[in-house]
Structures are given as C-alpha cells and as structure tokens.
C-alpha cells in the first residue's frame, strides 16, 4: 500500500508541473520569435528574441536558481520526518509565489515581481527553519 505524501512532497509534485509550465512558456515565446525551422535545427548561430521571450527565459532561469534549494529542503524534511507545520507552510508559500512570479515577470511589473521573489525566499527559509 502506498505511503501518503507529506505536504511538502505534494508541493514538490506540483512544482514539476510548474517547471513544465515555465519550459512551455519559454519555448513558445522563443519559437514565435525565431521560427520553427530554426528551432528544429541545431541552433548553432544565436538568434535574438523579443522582449516577451527574453522575459520568459529570465523568469525560467530565476526559477531554476531556487528550485534545487526547494527540492533539497523538501527531501530533507521528508527524510528526517520533519514534514508539516512551518515546512509545509513554507513549501506552499514558495510555490504560490513562484506561480505569481511568472505573469509579473512576463508583464514587466518590477516591484511586485521582486516582492513575489522575496516571498518565495521566505518560504524556503521557513522550510529550513523547520529542518533545523
């Protein structure tokens, strides 16, 4: 019989969906700017992309910078049986802030985007606090 997922592992599963969403947004916006022939090829030469595709790439890069920390904290909480409480709240906070971050970055909203990033970091710190 399968073991129930901890709250943090549930968020981890949903974060994979979020990763794919980032990847699709980035690919779709870049494809719009560079064309299908270029993207089907080896892409040896660099082709510039427009503002939206550039923002999508930078938002995805930013996600990938904090994602390993989230994965590590989630697995550490599960492995040490410290799931729940502050850790679960932090995981959901990180996840929610990362969702909000995408449209804020794509639409070029500067201060709210920074706030969303900060909230996601607070979520990671909460998870770390639960672990330690």
What digits encode the pLDDT tens for the residues 21-34? 999 999 999 999 88
Q: What 3-state class would DSSP assign to 57?
A: helix
Alpha helices in 5-109 (DSSP H): 7-34, 36-40, 51-79, 85-106
Q: What is the pLDDT of residue 46?
A: 83
Q: Supply 66's token pair.
A: 């904090």
Instruction: Tell me if 33 is assigned to some domain.
Output: yes
Compute the C-alpha angle 63/96/11, nearest 5°.
80
Residue 59 domain-assigned? yes
Q: Which residues contact 7 (CB under 8 A, 6 or more apart)?
A: 83, 84, 87, 88, 91, 92
Is residue 2 situated within a structural domain?
no
Let me know if residue 83 belongs to a domain. yes
23-74 pLDDT, tens digit per residue, is: 999 999 999 988 888 888 888 888 889 999 999 999 999 999 999 999 999 9
CB 23 within 8 A of CB 67: no
Q: Which domain holds residue 111?
A: 7-131
Residue 107 lies in a domain: yes
CA 48 to chain centre: 24
Q: Give me the CATH number covering residue 116.
A: 1.20.120.550
Query: pTM of whole model > 0.85?
Result: yes
Is residue 54 in some structural domain? yes
| 1 lies in some domain | no
Task: Identify whether 104 is part of a domain.
Answer: yes
What pLDDT sits at residue 42? Answer: 86
Q: How many domains does the chain have?
A: 1
Sign of CA dihedral 25, 72, 93, 89: positive
Distance CA 61, CA 74 (A): 20
């Amino acid at each position: 019989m399968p073991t129930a997922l901890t709250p943090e592992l549930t968020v981890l599963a949903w974060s994979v969906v979020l990763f794919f969403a980032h990847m699709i947004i980035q690919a779709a916006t870049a494809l719009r700017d560079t064309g299908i022939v270029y993207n089907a090829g080896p892409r040896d030469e660099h082709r510039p992309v427009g503002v939206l595709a550039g923002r999508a790439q930078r938002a995805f890069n930013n996600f990938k910078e904090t994602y390993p920390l989230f994965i590590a904290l989630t697995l550490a909480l599960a492995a040490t049986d410290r799931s729940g409480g502050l850790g679960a709240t932090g995981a959901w906070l990180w996840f929610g802030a990362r969702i909000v971050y995408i449209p804020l970055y794509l639409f070029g909203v500067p201060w709210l985007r920074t706030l969303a990033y900060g909230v996601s970091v607070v979520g990671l710190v909460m998870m770390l606090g639960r672990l330690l």
